[in-house]
């Protein structure tokens, strides 16, 4: 190589060094040192956990969320049913007075017992009593809550016994055959008493 070539190579080297210095580029690091450092980190992780960390590109390393099962809560109880109040009984005539009457019927409706009577008049002396029915109008009374129902203990005896509504109804053999004393009050029948004659 002659002197001119030597100067040319030297000048090119200086120019290259100047370009490198201006751009801030550093010569490539030693690959063997990088590899050594990476291996040291992996070895440290392995010594701590006992396993090697998975590679970032490994699909199994991606955590998958477990399925969530939603259990419905207990069904709330239905609202309490609002039962309708029991209907009130249909009252009989409030101006009715105590009277003897033919017992026409007894029946139960909407939880209430009713009595159907036909008022009569008792005429004549005690030895020859007879009944007069001038008005065939029927009167219907609901039995009051504390109604007194009285039947004779024995035929021909003036002694009475208290009975239930069903027992009093059973006493009626045929509609209109039995005579009772009716005591009304406020539209209710508060007492029914079997006729007694000596």
- For residue 32, the model assigns a pLDDT of 44
Q: Please name which of 191, 195, 197 lies closest in space to residue 115, comparing C-alpha atoms.
A: 191
- How far is it, in rounded angstroms, from Cα 143 to Cα 166? 12
Q: Which residues are within 8 A (CB) of 6 and not within 5 positions of it... i.e. 6 or more apart?
A: none
Tokens of 173: 């053999």
What are the start-end ranges of the E strands in the chain? 99-109, 112-119, 121-123, 130-132, 138-152, 160-162, 179-185, 188-194
pLDDT averaged over 10-residue windows placed end to end, the chain, 198 residues: 50 54 48 45 45 50 64 76 78 90 93 95 81 90 96 86 93 80 96 85
- How far is it, in rounded angstroms, from Cα 93 to Cα 99? 13
Tokens of 3: 């002197």
- For residue 126, the model assigns a pLDDT of 73
- For residue 191, the model assigns a pLDDT of 96
- How far is it, in rounded angstroms, from Cα 78 to Cα 92? 41
- For residue 155, the model assigns a pLDDT of 76
Q: Where are the alpha helices (DSSP H) in the chain?
A: 3-23, 31-49, 165-171
Instruction: List 142's β-bridge partners, or say none.
Output: 114
């Amino acid at each position: 190589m002659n002197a001119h070539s030597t100067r040319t190579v030297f000048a090119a080297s200086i120019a290259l060094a100047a370009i490198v210095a201006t751009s801030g580029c550093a010569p490539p690091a030693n690959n063997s040192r990088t590899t050594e450092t990476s291996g040291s980190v992996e070895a440290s992780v392995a010594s701590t956990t006992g396993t090697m960390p998975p590679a970032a590109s490994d699909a199994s390393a991606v955590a998958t969320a477990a399925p969530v099962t939603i259990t419905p809560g207990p069904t709330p109880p239905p609202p309490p049913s609002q039962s309708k109040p029991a209907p009130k009984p249909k009252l009989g005539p409030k101006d009715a007075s105590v009277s003897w009457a033919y017992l026409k019927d007894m029946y139960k409706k909407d939880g209430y017992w009713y009595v159907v009577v036909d008022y009569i008049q008792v005429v004549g002396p005690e030895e020859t009593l007879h009944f007069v029915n001038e008005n065939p109008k029927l009167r219907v009374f609901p039995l009051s809550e504390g109604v007194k129902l009285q039947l004779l203990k024995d035929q021909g005896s003036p002694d009475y016994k208290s009975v239930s509504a069903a027992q009093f109804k059973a006493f009626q053999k045929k509609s209109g055959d039995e005579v009772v004393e009716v005591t009304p009050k406020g539209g209710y029948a508060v007492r029914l008493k079997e006729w007694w004659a000596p």
